[in-house]
Amino acid sequence: MNADRIAVQAVRRPGGAAAGLLVLLVAVLPAAGCMTAAKQAYFEMRGAQGEVLALTEPVVADSHSFGSLEFLPATTTVSDRVVPPELLTAYNRRAPRIIEDVEAAFLPGDRRLSIMTDVTYFQSKGLLSPAMLLARVYFRDGDRLVQDTIVKVESKAFRAGDEKDLADAALNAVRGHVAAFLEPRDAADRKQRESALRERRQRRGED
């Protein structure tokens, strides 16, 4: 509701200052309720959102030149009352999809980028509190640490506030990070990756 209309209603009603204040409250509260509903509708539409926070810079100069990617099974060192097993199961089941999504960024070779996930906190969506997931995610090249990160996921949506929703959002954040991590350096590099992708698909009989 327009603020000028609210003010006019408060002044024109009879009954003095008290009556004016009452009219103002009656006019404002429904508008506030509409705003709350609109915000919640936005959160429902947006769903769970994840981001990767880098704790260290990549330590391998040619970090983009990996030939494959693997997700090690997600783990946790806290009680299952804090991190339910269903969350780890959902994460591990969905992780292979990320490998397929970023396959075009792989180069020929034996170097493998390994992703280790340690979930440290989970909170499902409550009436007033958002759903949240925190995980320490390590990117490794064999025994060498490539990068240390934290993945943070939050959802204020009731429809996207359980274990599966937050696992999906966490993996989507990791996927974006890996895609940037493996970004080709130039046109020749990109062409080499495209050739490697065609060869892999031919071996699998996809082309």
Residues in the chain predicted with pLDDT less than 70, given as ranges, are 1-47, 60-64, 128, 157-161, 184-186, 204, 206-207
Q: pTM for the full model? A: 0.70
pLDDT for 16 equals: 56
pLDDT at position 203: 75
**Angle of the 3-12 helix axis to the 16-46 helix axis, nearest 10:** 160
Cβ-contact 95, 170 below 8 angstroms? no
Phi, psi of 127 (to 5 degrees): -65, -40
Task: Give the tens place of pLDDT for each residue, 130-181.
Answer: 889 999 999 999 899 999 999 999 987 655 457 888 999 999 999 999 887 7
Reduce the secondary structure of 19-74 to three states and give it as a string: HHHHHHHHHHHHHHHHHHHHHHHHHHHHCCEEEEEECCCCCCCCCCCCCEEEECCC
Nearest alpha carbon to residue 169 among 200, 108, 110, 125: 125
Torsion of CA 177, 179, 183, 187, to 10 degrees: -160
What are 56's two structure tokens? Answer: 């260290």
**What is the predicted pLDDT for the residue at 45?**
56
